[in-house]
Structure 1
């Protein structure tokens, strides 16, 4: 069958959420959909639950592929397996702990038929326990999408974007294996760079589950530091290859500055703030980050001006609080 849409769902230990996710996908009011679930060796009952939900939708049975990695490989490998297994004209990726409205594919289909765009983007919801926030992405005809993802105004996730599969294939754009943090943002940046036409639907379909845990309260691990460094280095290679540094120099260093903040969350990585791309530690690059609030810009500016003193003070307070 020639599918119009393919939906990729990476699965890993999602037994608490996979039923809601799958029902929202199988229940779409658009029929011509291929589903590709890739399990990254879950140790829970995710696959069993998925198969039970599928029984509720017998008309979808022949349109579903369930693939299992031979061992736990991480999200980038899992997404790549899913992408290589699709046959639809357009592709979207949905995380297994999220869900979508039942008219998502139908709305994307209508917009594609109207515009023949390479990428269709939409707003999305952030769903917290007891609260739902509508996140408007403000895609307009005057928006440089590549720059907007770079400076953080637009979300880098692929989950609110329906993308022509040939855009991936023709430009060899796939997740880089072993690279998990920011991997979707790097894929998005390349897709938008090579796209000829992008359109926007000012409606939300994706429900992006949030866990009410502050990023700054979570321990930083070595893998996150590695992925941040890897992302920045790969971004520079991409800019150099496509001769973008002279055009988007400020935005490039602003993006680096934004991602370097992870180095400030653990004392053992403080040295990277000053030693890794130190040329990015300038106020003028901070000003390119249009997604930053005034307060966030002030805090970051103080860090740029007094980084070592602020880090030492913050870590001293942190150690005292841990001892209480």
Structure 2
């Protein structure tokens, strides 16, 4: 059984897969398996992948390249990879991104040393020339803080969390089918089942800001599709909480996710008609209903305005203060 399984969906990344694969095959962790899921890519991504693999003969036995029967999207590719994984721990990597050569060694060692179910790391975002360090600043590793931080940070990304595979295999994960926001729909469930968390305060993953990716496609129809997919994955989280009978306890998380979905959509589309579509999905978040609802706690009303102003850092400050006051 390998120590770590890495799952890599492959679609339309011919220009980038070589860089990604080399960073994976050059990992200092030897006992590792790589599961590439070919989502019926139309370009030569898989051909390039095989060419790179020939240069790393020691990795050949550790590599699976599995083709889906039809193009199904990233959510389906991730699910297929998670079902095939055999490692003690599982992590994801996107085909246009890359990782530090010591990334999985450091994360696995941290997991073993702390007996953690999930180990998080930090990120660089980059266009290939400029690099921005994404700090998560996790002062307290508990479920409440982590769930609340999912929204405004990249913490929810499956590429930045090494997860004990038994968390996935021993529980009934509700797998998304929509491709926008599928990361947090899965990660929230994994966090819910996990008991111990660890954190490495250094960037080990390089998130490439690809202007040609599906999430960057412009046009009202594309925006509406992403909005629908995002809402579908928020609904999965709600369905999961209902199943586990913890809906009221996690109401903050659901409302924050819905507000985040609204903020994302509003920054892309500033058209009244499309905003009305959004309001028809979540009418409880209409300004009047939300702000004058006595059941909504003050900190969520403040977050509402933070979202309206696109000032996520403001809410994180409020969350930190709330946590400190609750201790005293």
Query: Normalising by the residue count of structure 2, what TM-score does the alignment of the two structures yield?
Result: 0.82
Residues of 2 paired with 1:101 and 1:95: CA distance? 14
Matched, 1:276 2:281: yes
Runs of at least 5 residues in structure 2 that lack an aligned partner in the other structure: 292-297, 313-328
SS in 2 for 1:29: coil
The farther-off stretch of 257-266 and 124-133 is: 257-266
1:91 corresponding residue in structure 2: 90
Q: 1:227 to 1:105 in 2, by over 3 A?
A: same
Superposed counterparts of 1:109-128, under 5 Å: 109-128=108-127
Give the deviation of 1:295 after TM superposition.
4.2
Give the deviation of 1:65 after TM superposition.
0.5
Q: 1:142 to 1:25 in 2, by over 3 A?
A: closer
Residues of 1 paired with 2:23 and 2:225: CA distance? 33
Alignment RMSD: 2.6
1:305 corresponding residue in structure 2: none
Q: Given that residues 168 and 174 in structure 1 are in contact (C-alpha distance below 8 angstroms), is that contact kept between their aligned partners in structure 2? A: no
Please identify the structure whose Cα radius of gyration is greater: 1
Q: Given that residues 178 and 230 in structure 2 are in contact (C-alpha distance below 8 angstroms), is that contact kept between their aligned partners in structure 1? A: no
Query: Normalising by the residue count of structure 1, what TM-score does the alignment of the two structures yield?
Result: 0.83
1:67 corresponding residue in structure 2: 66
Residues of 2 paired with 1:33 and 1:236: CA distance? 34
SS in 1 for 2:106: helix
Give the deviation of 1:249 after TM superposition.
2.7
Q: Given that residues 120 and 161 in structure 1 are in contact (C-alpha distance below 8 angstroms), is that contact kept between their aligned partners in structure 2? A: yes
Q: 1:223 to 1:294 in 2, by over 3 A?
A: closer
1:316 corresponding residue in structure 2: none
Q: Given that residues 141 and 197 in structure 2 are in contact (C-alpha distance below 8 angstroms), is that contact kept between their aligned partners in structure 1? A: no
Superposed counterparts of 1:73-84, under 5 Å: 73-84=72-83
The farther-off stretch of 242-251 and 156-165 is: 242-251
Residues of 2 paired with 1:188 and 1:179: CA distance? 15
1:166 corresponding residue in structure 2: 166
Q: Given that residues 121 and 200 in structure 2 are in contact (C-alpha distance below 8 angstroms), is that contact kept between their aligned partners in structure 1? A: yes
Give the deviation of 1:51 after TM superposition.
0.5
Q: Deviations over 1:124-183 (max 9, x none)?
A: 11012421011111123355344224543453110011111110011122532x311111
Superposed counterparts of 1:1-324, under 5 Å: 2-141=1-140, 143=142, 144-173=144-173, 175-176=175-176, 178-211=177-210, 218-220=218-220, 221=222, 222-261=224-263, 264=266, 265=269, 266=271, 268-281=273-286, 282-283=290-291, 284=298, 285-288=300-303, 295-297=309-311
Q: Given that residues 254 and 280 in structure 1 are in contact (C-alpha distance below 8 angstroms), is that contact kept between their aligned partners in structure 2? A: no
Residues of 1 paired with 2:228 and 2:281: CA distance? 12
Q: Given that residues 37 and 67 in structure 1 are in contact (C-alpha distance below 8 angstroms), is that contact kept between their aligned partners in structure 2? A: yes
SS in 1 for 2:14: coil
Q: Given that residues 151 and 256 in structure 2 are in contact (C-alpha distance below 8 angstroms), is that contact kept between their aligned partners in structure 1? A: yes
Residues of 1 paired with 2:217 and 2:42: CA distance? 27
Runs of at least 5 residues in structure 1 that lack an aligned partner in the other structure: 299-324
